[in-house]
């Protein structure tokens, strides 16, 4: 799929704007949800459907409930934002029936399993926010919440983020795509894969043993992903260690990055760790791998 000629950014949020809270993936714990909901309700008019607390096996209700909820949020012209309750699993099941082409100009916020929705939005040239879900937001430090609100409300480029390690030196610029490695790899061969040519690829994951990380990364390589992107940003790989092994997940990822040969820095505070800074997928960024710095060259919302 060719890169869109022009990326469409969401409208900026303003205090007291209406935002939708949706659960397109897995069921969630009520206490964590309530804390996250309170965090956004202090700033915006947060609304959700009465049946958002539904549960069907490993999903937050059946596909009809979850898909209808997300479709209504996506097409509501009177709202400015969409916040997801939790990741888990299930968002990809909804993609064929979502009215993505008719989506309003709301900012979509989520990560993990919501990588599938991000990919579908980027495939249509839309910017969206890879950021905390509500069950995680309540545990985030104030500086992360402030960063999120600034990202959603200001058209100015946000401050850069810094990682902890250089895997492959060099510099790369391009539009940011990606998210959760497990989910992103499942988009290969579908119409929901975001435009890759000239992109900077963000990857993170949770509770995937090193050989599984290797397997998914190799899938990306065999599918030609690393021949199309310009650089790789690695966030948190939380709980991805092999018990009693004499190697770490970082050892494996470092070797894989060196094989790819693209500028790559790791340890960015993005993903399932204690700190999950939001980033705008589809916006232009610069990766300075030598300094493990990710600089945002534009804001996430319209001026």
> Quick one: tokens of 167?
């895997």
CATH number at residue 110: 3.40.50.10740
Closest by CA position to 132, among listed 163, 80, 86, 175:
86
Shared-domain flag, residues 78 and 106: yes
Residue 12 lies in a domain: no
Closest by CA position to 85, among listed 112, 123, 118:
112
Shared-domain flag, residues 171 and 62: no
| Single pTM value for the model | 0.96
Shared-domain flag, residues 136 and 116: yes
CB atoms within 10 A of CB 240: 22
- Give the pLDDT confidence score for residue 86 in this predicted structure: 98
Write out the E strands in the chain: 18-22, 45-47, 81-84, 107-110, 128-130, 161-162, 165-168, 171-180, 200-206, 231-238, 264-266, 279-281, 284-288, 293-296
Please pick, among 69, 153, 204, 288, the residue that the annotation labels catalytic: 204
Assess whether 69 carries a catalytic annotation: no
Residue 264 lies in a domain: yes
Closest by CA position to 162, among listed 276, 295, 284:
295
Assess whether 204 carries a catalytic annotation: yes
CATH number at residue 220: 3.50.30.60
Residue 133 lies in a domain: yes
CB atoms within 10 A of CB 92: 21
Please pick, among 112, 116, 182, 185, the residue that the annotation labels catalytic: 112
- Give the pLDDT confidence score for residue 2 in this predicted structure: 45
Range of the domain at 166: 161-296
Return d(Cα 208, Cα 112) in angstroms, integer: 13
Residue 10 lies in a domain: no
Assess whether 104 carries a catalytic annotation: no
Instruction: For 140, list phi and psi in degrees, rounded to 5.
Output: -80, 145
Q: Which of these three, 153, 179, 205, is where a domain ends?
A: 153
- Give the pLDDT confidence score for residue 243 in this predicted structure: 93
Residue 200 lies in a domain: yes
Number of domains in the chain: 2
**Residue keyed to tokens 């309700």:** 41
Shared-domain flag, residues 166 and 222: yes
Return d(Cα 61, Cα 27) in angstroms, integer: 8
- Give the pLDDT confidence score for residue 1 in this predicted structure: 37
All residue ranges of the chain with pLDDT < 50 are 1-4
Instruction: For 61, list phi and psi in degrees, rounded to 5.
Output: 100, 170
Q: Which of these three, 100, 133, 153, is where a domain ends?
A: 153
């Amino acid at each position: 799929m060719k890169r869109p000629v022009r990326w469409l950014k969401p409208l900026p949020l303003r205090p007291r704007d209406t935002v939708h809270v949706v659960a397109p993936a897995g069921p969630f714990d009520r206490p964590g949800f309530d804390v996250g909901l309170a965090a956004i309700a202090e700033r915006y008019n947060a609304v959700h459907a009465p049946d958002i607390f539904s549960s069907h096996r490993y999903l937050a209700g059946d596909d009809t409930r979850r898909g209808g909820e997300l479709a209504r949020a996506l097409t509501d012209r009177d709202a400015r934002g969409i916040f997801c309750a939790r990741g888990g699993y299930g968002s990809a099941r909804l993609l064929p029936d979502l009215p993505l082409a008719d989506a309003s100009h709301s900012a979509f916020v989520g990560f993990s399993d919501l990588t599938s929705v991000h990919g579908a939005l980027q495939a249509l040239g839309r910017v969206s926010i890879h950021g905390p879900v509500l069950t995680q937001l309540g545990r985030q430090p104030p500086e992360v919440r402030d960063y999120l609100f600034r990202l959603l409300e200001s058209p100015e480029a946000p401050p850069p983020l810094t990682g902890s390690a250089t895997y492959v030196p060099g510099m790369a610029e391009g539009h940011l795509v990606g998210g959760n490695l497990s989910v992103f790899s499942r988009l290969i061969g579908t119409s929901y894969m975001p435009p890759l040519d000239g992109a900077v690829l963000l990857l993170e994951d949770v509770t995937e043993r090193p050989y599984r990380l290797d397997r998914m990364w190799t899938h990306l390589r065999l599918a030609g992903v690393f021949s199309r992107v310009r650089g790789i940003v690695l966030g948190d790989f939380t709980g991805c260690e092999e018990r009693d092994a004499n190697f770490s997940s970082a050892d494996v990822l470092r070797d894989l990055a060196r094989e790819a040969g693209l500028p790559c820095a790791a340890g960015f505070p993005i993903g399932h760790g204690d700190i999950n800074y939001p980033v705008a997928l589809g916006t232009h960024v610069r990766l300075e791998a030598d300094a493990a710095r990710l600089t945002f060259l534009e804001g996430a919302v319209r001026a």
